[in-house]
Amino acid sequence: MTDRKMITLTIEGRQVQVPEGTSMLEAARSAGVLIPHYCYHPGLPVAGVCRMCLVEVEKAPKLAPACATAVADGQVIHVHSDKAREARTGVLEMLLINHPLDCPICDQSGECELQDYTYAEGRKSSRYREAKRFNPVEDFGGDVLYVPNRCILCTRCVRFMDDVAHDPVLNVSERGDRAVIGKFEDQDLTHPWAGNVVDLCPVGALLSKDFLNKARSWDLDRAASICPNCSQGCNATLETRDNVVVRIRPRPNDEVNRYFLCDEGRLDYRWLNRRDRIEYPHVRRDHALAPVEWEIAVDAAAVALRGRQAFVLASPGLSNETLFLLARIRDRTGGRGAFRVRQGAEAPLPGVPDLALRADRAANGRGAELLGFSRSETPLEGLRNGDVLIVADEELAGIDPASVATAVARAASIIVVGTTLPAWASGAAVVLPVANMAEEDGTFTNLRGRVQRYLQAKQAPGLVRPAWSALGDLLTALGESALYFLPSDVFAALAAAVPAFAGLDYDRLGLVGVPVAGDGAATAAAGALVGAAP
């Protein structure tokens, strides 16, 4: 990129410098000018089929499609001149000829580019009096529903399946005003990344069955987050309605996931809304767990740990901050720690380098390794007689509960620091209820060693606190200086103590993350905001 010739041009009266070969649309974006567009998407090859991006170029005989025209030196481009606006109004009128205008029952309403541009530049009323074309709703398989009446034939979905997923399932069937998106016979949108067509579709033609009729886009609260479901660490946005996570959508990051999110990641969010949470701290009194104040529970945990070695059974879904504090408790007592990562089939997205749904189905296995926890399929093996077992939000799902119970019986006592209380840990001496990843701020380290922040998306129930805060108190009760008021304080302590994280802080991480020191993949331009922020 750097050795390419730079070109200077004027867009809407603003001078911009871009490398040779840049399209007008991208050049305008770098100048902060939005050129309306439908078929163009930064993650897909250019098609130039919708003609929405027409702009006026001085001294050129006719309007140019901005997405498919490269800039030239000294060009003067007008996006909002009368001629360009008139052309786009015409394009919109054509698009709306067969459009049902069923916004009240359309899931896209409120985040629809057809609505937005029609509102901005469309005609006030329709001149079309004939009956509209009608096609029934079609189930495209996977999570995708196709509503052909709303389709504007931008072909983003076709290009995604052809050029990014390399699984050509979709096509443009029929011609002219009868054209619709078709599916090749006996094939379904079951590619593990096919759900992205729902986000790519600029209108409400491709819908998620999971999200169907659930919420209005303007009712949702959004938080920048990281997909917690595998070690790839795709950047995501958690969307909540009334404190319930209802959707996960991709957040652009050129270094990790570009504009995409896999189906498993985007659909596996219900555990963030679990109802069987422990909501209050508990300590064992008279053979039963009794709810108590936080101070009492933390002191009881400190008493249980005194003079004993801790064995930390950590979840690889915990934040770096929490794992760091657990590691300090572990090291202070001369104990050990282990974690187990649930495995699944790996599913790459061929069109994007180094992007796949990873076999490790947890976000922070790498962070746990960097902080000295050992990975094991049978993590309780290292538990010795007389250890204090600290169960850090791990349920050991999929392992025979009876064998877990016998292993756990070796422990002198059990401290649960978690969102739930697994049956095999019901003999715990102390239970500290903590927030899940949607309810706290923190960082994950992905499999390439990239440290990325996630922000709180919803409120935690009951007296639940973030794990870093509870463990900070526990460390203080054990006699260390660990007074933390913010997760960034914990991260600062982590950066100071662990060489791999040296020099990092929340400001440097930004919202796109930075690779840890000394990592092979550490070449990326750190912190630079890439792609369009949503």
- Residue numbers at the binding site for ligand FES (CB under 6 A): 37-40, 48-53, 65, 67-68
Angle formed at CA 432 by CA 427 and CA 437, multiple of 5 degrees? 120
Task: Supply the minimum distance, in Å, between the C-beta of residue 244 and ligand SF4.
Answer: 20
Nearer to other proteins, 67 or 205 (CB): 205
Query: Which residues inside 99-118 make contact with ligand SF4, applying CB under 6 A?
Result: 99, 101-104, 106, 108-109, 112, 114-115
Closest CA to 310 of 372, 369, 363: 372
The two three-digit tokens of residue 20, written as one number: 């040779």
Task: Supply the minimum distance, in Å, between the C-beta of residue 202 and ligand FES.
Answer: 10
Q: How far is CA 207 from the centre of its chain?
A: 19
Rg (alpha carbons) of the chain, rounded to whole number = 27
What does the alpha-carbon distance between residue 307 and residue 333 come to, in Å, rounded to a whole number? 8
| Side chain identity, residue 105 | I
Q: Which stretch binds ligand SF4 (CB under 6 A): 72-80, 148-156, 237-245, 462-470?
A: 148-156
Which of 10, 81, 89, 109: binder of other proteins (CB under 8 A)? 109
The two three-digit tokens of residue 368, written as one number: 């746990």
Which of 54, 63, 64, 152: binder of ligand SF4 (CB under 6 A)? 152
Angle formed at CA 80 by CA 76 and CA 81, multiple of 5 degrees? 70
Task: Supply the minimum distance, in Å, between the C-beta of residue 175 and ligand SF4.
Answer: 14
- What torsion do the CA atoms of 297, 302, 306, 310 make, to the nearest 10 degrees? 100
289 binds, among other proteins, ligand SF4, ligand FES, none (CB under 5 to 8 A by kind): none
What does the alpha-carbon distance between residue 20 and residue 7 come to, in Å, rounded to a whole number? 6
Task: Supply the minimum distance, in Å, between the C-beta of residue 65 and ligand FES.
Answer: 4
Task: Supply the minimum distance, in Å, between the C-beta of residue 28 and ligand FES.
Answer: 12
52 binds, among ligand SF4, ligand FES, other proteins, none (CB under 5 to 8 A by kind): ligand FES
Nearer to other proteins, 100 or 291 (CB): 100
Contact between 213 and other proteins by CB under 8 A: the answer reads: yes
The two three-digit tokens of residue 519, written as one number: 């990592």
What does the alpha-carbon distance between residue 161 and residue 260 come to, in Å, rounded to a whole number? 12
What does the alpha-carbon distance between residue 39 and residue 391 come to, in Å, rounded to a whole number? 50
What does the alpha-carbon distance between residue 383 and residue 389 come to, in Å, rounded to a whole number? 8
φ, ψ of residue 306 to 5 degrees: the values are: -60, 130
Number of residues that bind ligand SF4 (CB under 6 A): 26
Contact between 136 and other proteins by CB under 8 A: the answer reads: no
361 binds, among ligand FES, other proteins, ligand SF4, none (CB under 5 to 8 A by kind): none
Task: Supply the minimum distance, in Å, between the C-beta of residue 216 and other proteins.
Answer: 4
Contact between 490 and ligand SF4 by CB under 6 A: the answer reads: no
Closest CA to 65 of 134, 162, 128, 154: 154
Contact between 151 and ligand SF4 by CB under 6 A: the answer reads: yes
Report the side by side order of strands in the sheet with 206-208. 138-139, 144-146, 206-208
Nearer to ligand FES, 155 or 232 (CB): 155
Q: Which helix (H) or strand (E) holds 471?
A: helix 467-477
Cβ(429)–Cβ(413) under 8 Å?
yes
What does the alpha-carbon distance between residue 434 and residue 474 come to, in Å, rounded to a whole number? 13
Q: Which stretch binds other proteins (CB under 8 A): 69-77, 104-112, 323-331, 360-368?
A: 104-112
Task: Supply the minimum distance, in Å, between the C-beta of residue 139 and other proteins.
Answer: 12
Task: Supply the minimum distance, in Å, between the C-beta of residue 68 and ligand FES.
Answer: 6
Q: Is 393 left (phi over 0), alpha (psi -120 to 50) or beta?
A: left
Nearer to ligand SF4, 100 or 344 (CB): 100
Nearer to ligand SF4, 80 or 216 (CB): 216
x-or-dash pattern for ligand SF4, window 159-198, by CB under 6 A? Answer: ----------------------x-----------------
Nearer to other proteins, 204 or 316 (CB): 204
Which of 20, 219, 354, 381: binder of other proteins (CB under 8 A)? 219
428 binds, among ligand SF4, ligand FES, other proteins, none (CB under 5 to 8 A by kind): none
Q: Is the dihedral of CA 61, 66, 68, 70 positive or negative?
A: positive
What does the alpha-carbon distance between residue 248 and residue 261 come to, in Å, rounded to a whole number? 9
Pairing outcome for strands 450-454 and 442-445: antiparallel
Task: Supply the minimum distance, in Å, between the C-beta of residue 200 and ligand SF4.
Answer: 6
Binding site for ligand SF4 (CB under 6 A): 99, 101-104, 106, 108-109, 112, 114-115, 150-157, 181, 200-201, 203-206
Binding site for other proteins (CB under 8 A): 103-105, 109, 212-216, 218-219
